[in-house]
Structure 1
């Protein structure tokens, strides 16, 4: 039977069991799409990257959730390249990576950081009453209006649209009581994939700089909060940069997330308010093998 190395890499984290768990199959050449789907479902990570050779790029990534293929998967790209760099399979360099959604640029740094081109952020203000948003999140309207004078409710789309909801203080962000049905209604009205309440009130930062934002990602149709969302973090950073809410001395935006899932992580974002790059570290939490089902059979996979 065909077996492949399979990793679980915690993306946007420097320690295991933090950040977002990400599947990586470093040598996926020869696997069919059905086999990739089966392996991704077995690994169960939000995103799994299958690393493949490419004729017109440095490598190809096909990325799957447990239910289907993804056009854009920055988390999987970070996890895959962090694992490849950790094992000496790639050096610190700039790479072109072919994906289902098109070619993206990736850069691996000597310090272990991986930067991925997210693309252009489109920001659109939305006209949704504060009381509807407050009810969906279990908040008082004042927690939203306090910052609403400077930052409106808006969707930001850097590959996936998120409804961005500025909140005044961390204590209010930490005490959310999310109504899934009401969140789904908000997302339907805003044409968004999820809601991203955030605050400038943060937990901390790394050894050299303080965090800029703390956000929580609630995807419509999901019963659980995303640990660390690269797409929402990048979109939110572009939004606050575009509206002039950041000090000019802040060169890179450091976005915290995952603390309320006990999987804290940080996404570094480089943006001028329009173009977005997201960066982070990754650490391998599990290194093993997966048995791949033959052809289109429905055999059980053993990991």
Structure 2
């Protein structure tokens, strides 16, 4: 049976068992789609990054949740490049990666910090009754008012479309009781894949925002620390003028309610975004890969 090296790395963290765990397969060339899906399901991380050769970039990355392939994943990108750098497979400096969301730049600093170019962030305000968002989160609608001078809900897409919902106080964000079906319905209505609730009321003095990410449409009940959401929400608050240029980078904290605290740094002008963070490898081993299903070229989940 064929085996491949597999890793688990905690992204947006500087110590193990924090941040967001991502699967990483450093050499995924030759694996069929159903094998990639099976590996991601076996590893069980919210996303697994598969590193492949590319004719249009320095490497290609594909991303799978345990249920489906997604165009881009920030924390898995950081995890993959940090792991590759740690093993000498990539050098410090800037390189490119091909993804389903396009060819993007990645920079690895000498200290192992990984910065990923998310490109232009697609932002659109949505006409959404606050009561519906509050019901989906299981909190009072009053908790969604008077946030950042009535910052409007929006869908922000930095490779993964998030419904961005502002919450006034940290206490209310901590008390959410998510209705999974209501979140799915809400996201389908606004053409988003997940709901990202955030507040300016933070735990860390250096932090700008605290967020929580719920993406049941992608099979993710709650994601600990989310790069695509951080990039989208940072661009949103910058574009709305709630956070001015003196706040640079925008620092997004997340994961504390999952006991996996982490930090995402975002450089953005409100149009484009770069996200950065560290990662720590927590598991390095081999996995036996099932044979490819040659009768089915398309994975339906």
TM over 0.5: yes
- The count of corresponding residues between Structure 1 and Structure 2 is 294
> Does structure 2 retain, via aligned residues, the 8 Å contact 1:60–1:97?
yes
C-alpha distance in structure 2 between counterparts of 1:29 and 1:140, whole Å: 49
CA distance change for structure 1 residues 244 and 26 in 2, over 3 Å: closer, same or farther?
same
Structure 2: 5+ residue runs without aligned partners? Answer: 296-301
Within 5 Å, which residues of 2 pair with 1:227-242? 227-242=224-239
Q: Tell me, what secondary structure is at the counterpart of 2:245?
A: coil
Paired residues of 2:74 and 2:226 also in contact (CA < 8 A) = no
CA RMSD in angstroms, aligned pairs only: 2.0
Post-superposition shift, 1:139? 2.2
Task: After superposition, give the CA deviation of every residue in 1:57-98 in whole Å (9 maximum; x if it has no partner).
Answer: 212222222223322222221111000111222221100112
Q: Which runs of 4+ in 1 moved over 4 A?
A: none
2:222 partner SS: coil
Render the CA deviation track for 1:2-37: whole Å, top value 9, x for unaligned. Answer: 222110011111111111111111122332333222
Segment drifting more, 230-239 vs 60-69 = 60-69
Higher alpha-carbon deviation: 168-177 or 25-34:
25-34
CA contact (8 A) 2:41 2:66 kept: yes
Structure 2: distance between partners of 1:239 and 1:100:
23
Q: TM-score, normalised by structure 2?
A: 0.91
Distance 1:269 1:122 in 2: 16
Q: Is the 8 A contact 2:44 2:66 kept in 1?
A: yes
Q: Does 1:292 align with 2:289?
A: yes
Correspondence list, 1:43-54, <5 A = 43-54=43-54
The 5 Å alignment of 1:172-251 reads 172-204=172-204, 210-221=206-217, 222=219, 224-251=221-248
Look up the SS of the partner of 1:185 in the other structure: helix
Q: Which residue of 2 aligns with 1:278?
A: 275
Aligned pair in 2 of structure 1 residues 8, 297: CA closer, same or farther (>3 Å)? farther
Distance 1:223 1:3 in 2: 27
Q: Secondary structure at the match of 2:146?
A: helix
Counterpart in 2 of 1:133?
133
Q: Which residue does 2:38 correspond to in 1?
A: 38
Structure 1 gaps, min length 5:
299-303
Match of 1:106, SS? strand
